Amino acid sequence: MRGPGSRRHKVNLFGPNAPSTLPVVCERGVRHISLVQRYKHLGALVHHTGGSQVEINQRAATAHQALNQHKKVIYQNRQIPLGKRAELFNMLVLSKLLYGADSWVATNSKTERKFHTTVINLYKRLAGVQRDDHCSDTEVLVMVGLPSPEEHLRRARLRYIVTLVHTELPDIWALLAHDIFWRGMLEEDMLWMWKQLKGASELKDPRQHYEQWLAIIEHSPGFWKRLVKRACHHSVLQRQREHQVCDLHHRVLGRLRPLIHTQDPDADDEDLPQ
């Protein structure tokens, strides 16, 4: 339900006093369609509110279970390089978490925080970070060298648009025209992708040159997927570089601080060193 009066209709259809059926007038009479709060469709949990929090909770449990299966043998095995463990983690664990993420829409900040926390906790388990270790989210992301939770969702949507275009169903564009939330996120994703690649590609601003982007999606889907992968990889490297610079500044300031003599605030200006 969307638009004015949608809340009232939700209460009438799914509230505590709802009849749990929806009458539909057909050619041969009235049929009563059963209404449910949620149902599973092709492995994805669909809720009547359109939110994704219940689906994220289910996916998080599946991902943690997949990590537990080979935790000691692979993911926490120090004899295997962290880069190789992260690659296996991406294929065997994150793939279970991100199944169907291309259509997720966070209707509130609580859902966004839930997904962010889920991914970071999985990264901490991969890197062997203990609960009492004080590591920021940025430090964990730099440690594992994987995309951030937001970048995972961006990548999923940017890949999904290729599937939508190549289905060649005109009705899809009518649905996208009404889906303001998902369409707005996709526009932000393309703008983010352009900012990541504008220094190393001939892509132009998608806000003024959308035809160029659509031509790549229609005629070179493989090249488009490589561009999406390159944008995510560039973002990871930029985050690592910024963290290295900040860490260098902290270490330099830590060494300079003992060399800086504090001045007496009551001293006259004449007594201050020139």
Q: What is the pLDDT of residues 44-60, one digit of tens each?
A: 666 656 667 778 888 88
3-state secondary structure of 53: helix
State the pLDDT at residue 92. Answer: 92
b/e string for 223-256 if b means 16 or more Cβ within 10 A? Answer: ebeebbeebbebbbeebeeebeeeeeeeeeeeee
Number of structural domains in the chain: 2
Is the pLDDT at 176 greater than 90, yes or no? Answer: no
- Asked if 60 and 93 count as a contact pair (C-beta separation under 8 A), the reply is no
Percent of the residues in the chain that have a pLDDT greater than 70, as a whole number = 89
Domain boundary among 101, 133, 165: 133
Predicted pLDDT of residue 130: 82
Query: Per-residue pLDDT tens for 262-273?
Result: 555 554 545 444
Please answer whether residues 84 and 53 qualify as being in contact, where contact means their C-beta atoms are separated by less than 8 angstroms.
Answer: no
Residues 6+ apart with CB under 8 A from 182: 103, 105, 157, 176
Please indicate, yes or no, if residue 36 is contained in any of the structural domains: no
Q: What is the pTM assigned to this prediction?
A: 0.78
Do 126 and 170 sit in the same domain of this protein?
Answer: no
Judge whether 37 lies within some domain: no
169 has pLDDT over 90: no
Domain that includes residue 69, residue range: 51-133
In a domain, residue 193? The reply is yes
Is 30 among the domain residues? Answer: no
Q: pLDDT at position 274, please?
A: 47
Instruction: For 79-116, write each residue's pLDDT tens digit.
Output: 899 889 999 999 999 999 998 888 887 767 888 898 99
CA distance 203 to 193: 10
Rounded CA separation 48/53 (Å): 12
Structure tokens belonging to residue 272:
């201050």
